[in-house]
Amino acid sequence: MNAPKLARVIDIHALKNACSNCSLREMCLPTGLKQDEIEKLDQMVYTRKRVKRGDSVYRSEEKFGSLYAIRSGFFKTTLVMEDGRDQVTGFHMAGDMLGMDGIGADQHSCNAVALEDSEVCVIPYGRLEELSREIYELQQHFHKVMSREIVREHGVMLLLGSMRAEERLAAFLLNLSQRFTSRGYSASEFNLRMTREEIGSYLGLKLETVSRTFSKFQEDGFIGVQQKNIRILDSEGLKSVLGRDPS
Amino acid sequence: MNAPKLARVIDIHALKNACSNCSLREMCLPTGLKQDEIEKLDQMVYTRKRVKRGDSVYRSEEKFGSLYAIRSGFFKTTLVMEDGRDQVTGFHMAGDMLGMDGIGADQHSCNAVALEDSEVCVIPYGRLEELSREIYELQQHFHKVMSREIVREHGVMLLLGSMRAEERLAAFLLNLSQRFTSRGYSASEFNLRMTREEIGSYLGLKLETVSRTFSKFQEDGFIGVQQKNIRILDSEGLKSVLGRDPS
DNA sequence: GGAAGATTTTGATCCACATCAATATTTCCG
DNA sequence: CGGAAATATTGATGTGGATCAAAATCTTCC
């Protein structure tokens, strides 16, 4: 009798991949659904995609079709100007949603590049639209995710438009720390997945300035830096950098 | 017989206020709807609100409840940091949608202030959610509006993070001109509704730099400036400022 | 209509960060 | 493993835009 065994194998496989069983569930999907709704959601995501370090999930001007929930790994999104200058517009980690920039014009407007080997859940956009018409909680959740992206970008605009170099980097580190914390990782020690140049691009600074400012924070006893490894030793100290006039 | 006369008055009034009859229709609502869907939409917007110059439609931290479609006038949105520094995050004109920042946390995260006497259509968010579950085109349209806001902000991040002062101001003028054009106004002559300081805040520059750069563009023959009145004399010239190295 | 306040322009000077440069360290890969 | 390329650090110098200042112009509102 092979059938039951086979069935179980398939079962386990299905379970393993199911949203309903995903540890990141509450980050990319709504909570408090009924059983039948949960089953529908599991059907929404029928593809996972591995993305190797350096590869893109999508590129600017590519036809839009799906959103991507980050299952594991780390990404940057970048914009490129005609003259070649490019700018990092965000860093994204497990539980974040990628691709919402593509909805408006039906084509992507930035590049989403993996900074380490990663995995994304492919969410066909048409299917998401359909389901969010049926499931109120999904609709609500999706709208919140988009709205939060707008608010996040507001924050970056504030950072780029009004803060000095030290404030930008302090805000950046505190934000990263907070995001790692909310995912169950250490708030005080983490590895940067991006280069000084990418940090600089995101913060509107040159890589030398990023490096110098890391060194200064280290001298001040706020952090310990060893290349990509960061230990936050005095988060109050870092916070005090924000909004204090040059000293 | 008074009834018919009265009825007609009400009729005209209803028509005047209806989305279906609004000249900005295609900016804030989807097109190609069936008659019954159009009628539903007309019911979605049952309040207009006049906002006097200097007044806010909503303020940061205020409870979120509605989106606001700008019927007429001009707005800025601003963020305020704890230490009082504030930053303009956007300028908004007729046909634009305000308030989407509030969905994610159920409270607004910026202030929306009228720069001239204005009028907004109040769209109760719950009602919009409901209707966009029923009307596919509305759902799609709303998602596009949010996505475009994300893309717009990407553009500002690029501007703030990678451009020099002249490029920022050139991009700003070209963007304004394009938006006026798409609303049927002159592309080459318009009135700024905001001060140099507000422009500077939006562009991450000081007001003196904005003023100087306007003067420089005038010397270069790209624009004519007379206080708030701007004439674009050489839009190709302005475009050439973008992405050319300091000269 | 006219005085007070807000906004804009322009000049002089300064400084935070960019740029240029050289070395050190790490990562990659044959 | 080892050499090349990528990344990071640190120092010296330059500069675009900030800051400080003062005058000009516009707006408001009694």
pLDDT score of B13 more than 50: no
List, as one string, the DSSP characters of B55-84.
-EEE-TTSBP-EEEEEEESEEEEEEE-TTS
| Region at A96 (left for phi over 0; alpha for psi -120 to 50; beta for the rest) | beta
B85: in domain: yes
Amino acid at B45: V
Q: How many domains does chain B have?
A: 2
Instruction: Name the residue among A104, A139, A204 with its Cβ closest to that of B129.
Output: A139
B134-147 b/e with 16+ CB inside 10 Å = b?
A: ebebbbebbbebbb
Q: Indicate the residue of A86, A109, A129 with minimum beta-carbon distance to B154.
A: A109
Chain B segment 201-220 residues within 8 A of A by beta carbon are 201-204
Looking at the structure, tell me whether residues B8 and B130 fall in a common domain: yes
Do B35 and B120 reside in the same domain of the chain?
yes
Angle, helices A35-44/A136-162, rounded to nearest 10 degrees: 60
Q: How confident is the model at residue B30 (pLDDT cuts 50, 70, 90)?
A: confident
- Name the percent of chain B lying above pLDDT 70: 92
**How far: A228 CA to D9 C1' (Å)?**
13
- The continuous run of DSSP H or E covering A88 comes out as strand A86-93
CA B213 – CA B223 distance, rounded (Å): 11
CB A165 under 7 Å to nucleic chain C? yes
Q: Which of A83, A113, A134 is the endpoint of a domain?
A: A134
Q: For residue A203, is pLDDT > 60?
A: yes
pLDDT at A13 over 60: no
In a domain, A247, yes or no: no
Residue A56 lies in a domain: yes
**Residue A2, helix vs strand vs coil:** coil
Domain termination site, one of B118, B135, B152: B135
* Pair (A220, A121) in one structural domain: no
Residue of B nearest to A202 (CA): B161
| Residue B165 binned pLDDT confidence (cut-offs 50, 70, 90) | very high
Residue A155 lies in a domain: no
Neighbour-count burial for A29-39, b at 16+ CB within 10 Å, e otherwise: bbeebeeebbe
Same domain, B41 and B106: yes
Residue at a domain's end among B116, B135, B154: B135
The residues, any chain, with a CB within 8 Å of residue B216's CB and separated by 6 or more, are B166
**A103 and A194 co-located in one domain:** no
| pLDDT value of residue B17 | 65
CA A234 – CA A236 distance, rounded (Å): 5
Asked whether residue B78 falls in the same domain as residue B8, the answer is: yes
Q: Is the domain of A114 the same as that of A194?
A: no
> How many residue pairs bridge chain A and chain B with CB atoms within 8 Å of each other?
150
The C-alpha of A8 sits at a distance from chain B's nearest C-alpha, in angstroms, of 37
The SS3 of residue B46 is coil
- Amino acid (1-letter code) at residue A56: S
Q: What's the order of all strands across the beta sheet hosting A74-80?
A: A56-58, A111-114, A74-80, A86-93
- Compute the distance between CA of residue A58 and CA of residue A67 in angstroms, rounded to an integer: 10
Mean pLDDT confidence for B161-185 = 96
Chain A contact for B27 (CB, 8 A cutoff): no
Q: What is the CATH number of the domain that holds B53?
A: 2.60.120.10
What number is the average pLDDT over the span A173-190? 94
Scanning every strand, the nucleotide with its C1' closest to B164's CA turns out to be D16
Are B148 and A204 in contact (CB < 8 Å)? no
**How many Å apart are B176 CA and D30 C1'?**
37
Beta carbons within 10 angstroms of residue B153's beta carbon: 22
pLDDT tens across A152-164, in order? 999 999 999 999 9
Residues contacting residue A87 through CB under 8 Å, at least 6 positions apart: A78, A79, A81, A201, A202, B157, B158, B161, B162
Q: Which sign does the torsion angle of CA A85, A90, A92, A98 carry?
A: negative
Residue B65: φ, ψ to 5°? -150, -30
- Distance in Å from D10's C1' to A239's CA comes to 26
Do the domain assignments include residue A141? no
By percentage, how much of chain A surpasses pLDDT 90?
Answer: 75
Cross-chain residue pair A151–B87, CB shorter than 8 Å: no
Q: Is the pLDDT of residue A5 over 70?
A: no
Identify the sign of the CA torsion A81, A84, A88, A92: positive
Q: Are residues A31 and A120 in the same domain?
A: yes
In the structure, how far is the CA atom of residue A191 from the C1' atom of nucleotide D22, in angstroms?
52
B81 in contact with A at a CB cutoff of 8 Å?
A: yes
Which residue's structure tokens are 């939060």? A148
Residue B60, chain A, CB below 8 Å: the answer is no
Helix (H) or strand (E) holding A177: helix A165-182
CA-closest candidate to residue B147, choices A119, A208, A199, A107: A107
Answer whether any strand D atom is within 7 A of the Cβ of B166: yes
Residues B31-44: what's their mean pLDDT?
85
Structural contact between residues B100 and B53, judged by C-beta atoms closer than 8 angstroms: no
Predicted local distance difference test score (pLDDT) of residue B14: 52
State the CATH number of the domain containing residue B190. Answer: 1.10.10.10
Closest-CA residue of A relative to B100 is A147
Q: How far is the CA of B210 from the C1' of C13 (A)?
A: 19
Nucleotide closest to residue A214 (CA–C1') = D9
| Strand A86-93 versus strand A223-226 pairing type | unpaired
- A199 and chain B: CB distance < 8 Å anywhere? no
- Using 50, 70 and 90 to split pLDDT, how confident is the model at B118? very high
For strand C, give the nucleotides within 7 A of a protein CB.
Answer: 7-12, 15-21, 25-27
Query: How would you classify the pairing of strands B56-58 and B229-232?
Result: unpaired
Considering only CB atoms, A162 lies closest to which of B81, B133, B145, namely B81
For residues A238 and A170, is the Cβ–Cβ distance under 8 A?
Answer: yes
Structural domain contains residue B175 = yes
**Residue at shortest CA–C1' distance from C18:** A206
Which one of B139, B144, B150 has the shortest CB-CB distance to A150? B150
pLDDT at B33: 86
Determine the Cα–Cα distance for residues A201 and A96; give it in Å rounded to an integer: 21
**pLDDT recorded at residue A122:** 93
Domain shared by A113 and A25, yes or no: yes
Contact between the CB of A114 and strand C at under 7 Å: no
Q: Which domain holds residue A49?
A: 3-134
pLDDT score at A165 = 97
Q: Are both A83 and A200 inside the same structural domain?
A: no
Q: Nearest by CB to A150, from B100, B139, B244: name it.
A: B100
In a domain, B152, yes or no: no
Taking Cα atoms as reference points, which of A117, A120, A242 lies closest to residue A175? A242
Segment A27-36 shows an average pLDDT of: 85
The reply to whether A10 and A129 lie within a common domain is yes
Asked if the structure places residue B247 within a domain, the reply is no
Closest chain B residue to A126, measured at CA: B140
- Are B45 and B127 part of one and the same domain? yes
Read off the pLDDT of residues A81-112 as tens digits, 9 standing for 90 and up: 988 888 999 999 999 999 999 999 999 999 99
Q: Which residues of A touch B139 (CB under 8 A)?
A: 129, 132-133
Question: Would an 8 Å CB–CB cutoff place B165 in contact with chain A?
Answer: no
